[in-house]
């Protein structure tokens, strides 16, 4: 591959990678702003009726709008906590929202940024499969409480096994640093700073393995 093609591929993959991260966040911010501006326009006529000392009309409208949005989010959150609410939300999501462009990407971004859902492969776990304990990574969490766990193999960590596990067979590992873990975990699982160090290397190599494979093919 010529240097010009390499630079072109690098530029394309870099731009696409940046867009994948930035666009969902930008679209989410724009949607929130649209809701805010629309609601603010509806409330603005009330500024002539509701007045508070030491608060300007503009600030009062903004505070009321933000308060209503927060209350709405809180109310929706309460509804989702019920079985009926979850069913209604799931129906709306399946029949309407899932058909909207980038809805899935925006949802995943919001869940991950808010901490409601962890990034894939960010949690190291010990899984028990056929009587044997293995180190792996949580690839996905399901509504029924079960996990999809990826267990890498050597020497290529991008290869491995995928297991659909019950939560009682998945034990989170408190990995504090790359190549380290808590003393509690070492005592309970028979040690292995070297093993966990290798597991963390697997995680890093898995995330960037495709780029490495591409470079090896080019060379």
Output the tens digit of pLDDT for each of the chain's 219 residues. Answer: 677 777 777 777 777 667 666 776 777 788 888 889 998 888 888 777 777 777 787 888 888 889 998 998 888 888 878 888 778 877 877 777 677 666 666 666 666 555 555 555 667 888 888 878 888 888 887 878 888 888 887 766 667 788 888 888 888 877 643 443 444 444 444 444 555 555 555 555 555 554 555 455 555
User: Is residue 94 domain-shared with residue 174, that is, in the same domain?
Assistant: no
pLDDT at 197: 58
How far is Cα of residue 155 from the mean position of the Cα atoms in its chain? 28
Of 54, 88, 114, the last residue of a domain is 114
Q: Is residue 56 part of a domain?
A: yes
Assess if residue 88 is contained within a domain.
yes
**pLDDT computed for residue 182 by the predictor:** 44
- pLDDT at site 188: 43
14 and 101 both lie in a single domain: yes
The candidate with the shortest Cα–Cα distance to 123, out of 147, 107, 105, 153, is 147
Q: What is the pLDDT of residue 19?
A: 67
Are both 44 and 147 inside the same structural domain?
no
Confidence (pLDDT) at 145: 80
């Amino acid at each position: 591959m010529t240097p010009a093609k390499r630079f072109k591929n690098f530029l394309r993959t870099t731009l696409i990678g940046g867009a994948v991260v930035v666009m969902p966040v930008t679209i989410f911010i724009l949607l929130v702003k649209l809701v805010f501006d629309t609601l603010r326009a509806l409330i603005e006529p009330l500024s002539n009726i509701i007045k508070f000392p030491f608060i300007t009309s503009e600030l009062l409208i903004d505070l009321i709008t933000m308060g209503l949005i927060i209350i709405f989010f809180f109310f929706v959150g309460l509804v989702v906590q019920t079985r009926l609410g979850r069913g209604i939300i799931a129906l709306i999501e399946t029949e309407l929202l899932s058909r909207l462009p980038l809805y899935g990407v925006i949802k995943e971004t919001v869940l991950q940024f808010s901490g409601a859902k962890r990034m894939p492969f960010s949690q190291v776990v010990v899984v028990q499969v056929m009587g044997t304990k293995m180190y792996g990574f949580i690839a996905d969490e399901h509504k029924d409480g079960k996990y999809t766990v990826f267990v890498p193999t050597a020497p290529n960590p991008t290869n491995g096994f995928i297991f659909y596990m019950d939560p009682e067979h998945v034990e989170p590992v408190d990995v504090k640093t790359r190549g380290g873990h808590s003393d509690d975990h070492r005592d309970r699982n028979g040690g292995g700073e070297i093993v966990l160090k290798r597991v963390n290397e697997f995680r890093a190599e898995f995330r960037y393995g495709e780029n490495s494979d591409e470079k090896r093919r080019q060379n």
